[in-house]
Every structure is written in C-alpha cells, then in structure tokens.
Amino acid sequence: MSTYLIGDIHGCYYELQTILEQVNFNQFMDTLWLTGDLVARGPGSLEVLRLIRRLGDSVRIVLGNHDLHLLAVYAGIVRNKFKDRTTPLLEASDADDLINWLRYQPVLQVDNQKKLVMTHAGITPQWNIDTALQCAREVEAILRSDSYPLFLNTMYEDMPNNWSQELSGLARLRFSTNVFTRMRYCFPNGQLDMICKDMPNKAPEPLRPWFTLPSPIAEKYSIVFGHWASLMGNGTPKGIYGLDTGCCWGGELTLLCWEDKKFIRIPYTGIKNT
C-alpha cells in the first residue's frame, strides 16, 4: 500500500498514464494525491478527468485555478480559451457529469495520521489548521451549491489580501480561494501579494514566497502543493514539497512516493493518449 503524490497534470494524459504504470499503481491498494490543475493546456483534459473519476476513492484531489476556470467557462461566465485545449471536454457527451463531479472536489486535503496537507497553491501563514479547514469547507460548500456561478463570477479579483476572522461573504470566499489556488508571495506579515510571478531571486523586496514564512501549520504538518511550475520543485524548506514541474510547458510530470520520499519524473511528450 503506497501513497503517491503527483504535481499539476494540465491535461497531460499520456504522461499520467506512463507514470502510474511505472509505479504499478493499484487503485484497490494504493492512494493517489493530485495537486490540482488537472485540466487545460495539455492535449488530453477530457481523458484525464475520465481516468481520475474512474479511479474512484483511491484518488484524493484538490482543485486548482485552471480547474475553477473550467467551471467558470462551463457556467458561461468567461470565454473558452483556445490555448486551454478544453473544447473536446466541454463538447463531450459526458461533459455535464464530469464538470459536476469536478465541482464537488475539495480545495484542501488533510491526513492527520500522515501529518500531511495538500493544496494547489499553498497555505497562508496567517492560518492554523482549524482555520484552513473551516475556510476550505466554506469554498467547497459554495461550489457544490446552486449559487456556484455567482461565486465564480466574483473570484477574478485580488482583494481582500489580508486575513481577518471578520471577513464574510464573497470577500471571505475570494480570499480563501486566492490562498488555495493562486498564491505565491506574501509580505512579511502574511498579507498576500497577487501580482508577482517572478522567481524568488528576482522578486522585489519585501516579498517572500509563502513557504518561507513561519507557519503554525508547517510546524506540525508536511505541505504538498503545485501551481508554481517555475520553481521546478526547488527552493522549498524541509517538509514542504512543490510538485509542479511544468509538464504542459515542456517540462516533466513529477510523482513523489510518500513512504520512501522517492521521485519519478516523466518528460512531456505532447502525445494525447495511447
């Protein structure tokens, strides 16, 4: 029984198949954790969602910003972008089932036995684990409700960028969503910066990668995230693992076996399927 964690797939179906074959993944014995951004940019988003859904309870997922964008496209809030290569998914006969399955997926995974936390982008250092869980459940509840298009229509904003228990309504949901799916940098006090996308050695002062700031969650849990492909898995402190290595951009798909901490990487091929 093994636990495998895989970085952002982005529709790279062939590479996903290949990496699961390399570890002889058994859905009846093993568990697969996925850091989000399952879809968009790669050639096989439809096939990726069908495979992951078929694997059932053996998979633990978090939603990423590209997954939420797909939900917004489906809801008619934003236009479908040609570069996302998701038209075959949106036009598939099972599109409704796949999209509705997707919006019922969580934005945070916590395993208290393994002391393991996974989100797509990260965890703000302003939160403890109870606050993170509470905020995740709030986002998940609105995504699963009939009001999800209203929420998705307001998520494309950067404010508020500072946590307060007094935050409420759509402002609170937007802050939480930005933390879970978009965050890269914070100011030293934990306030979010939603603009900078540079590498850490080029980021302006006083910005810091979120994972370099003291965090009550990082003191007790290992944290796995994706989202930040340009890091290529480098530069994180002990116990924090960035698994997005830019497969859809010509990089690699990365898998981490939790039990022995060994990595497997599959180069991008551009092949749609086998």
Q: How far apart are CA 201 and CA 4, in angstroms?
A: 30
pTM for this model (two decimals) = 0.97
For a pLDDT cut of 90, what percent of the chain falls above it?
Answer: 97
Q: Check whether 274 has a pLDDT greater than 70.
A: no
- What's the distance, Cα to Cα, between the start and end of the chain in Å? 27
pLDDT given for residue 248 in this prediction: 95
pLDDT (average), residues 200-226: 97
pLDDT at 35: 98
**Which domains are assigned to the chain?**
3-267 (3.60.21.10)
Mean pLDDT of 62-84: 96
pLDDT of residue 273 exceeding 80: no
Write out the E strands in the chain: 3-6, 31-34, 59-61, 109-111, 116-118, 185-186, 192-193, 208-209, 222-225, 240-242, 252-257, 262-267
Give the model's pLDDT for residue 271: 81
pLDDT at 160: 96
Mean pLDDT throughout 171-192? Answer: 97
For residue 199, what pLDDT is reported?
93
Task: Give tens-digit pLDDT for 114-135.
Answer: 999 999 999 999 999 999 999 9
| Cβ-contact 69, 78 below 8 angstroms | yes
> Which residues sit opposite 141 in a β-bridge?
none
Residue whose entry in the numeric block shows the structure tokens 């992951």: 52
Whether 270 shows a pLDDT value over 90: the answer reads: no
Per-residue pLDDT tens digits for 232-254: 999 999 999 999 999 999 999 99
Answer whether the bond into residue 125 is a cis peptide, omega within 30°.
no
Burial 172-190 (b: 16+ CB within 10 A, else e): bbbbbbbbbbbbbbbeeeb
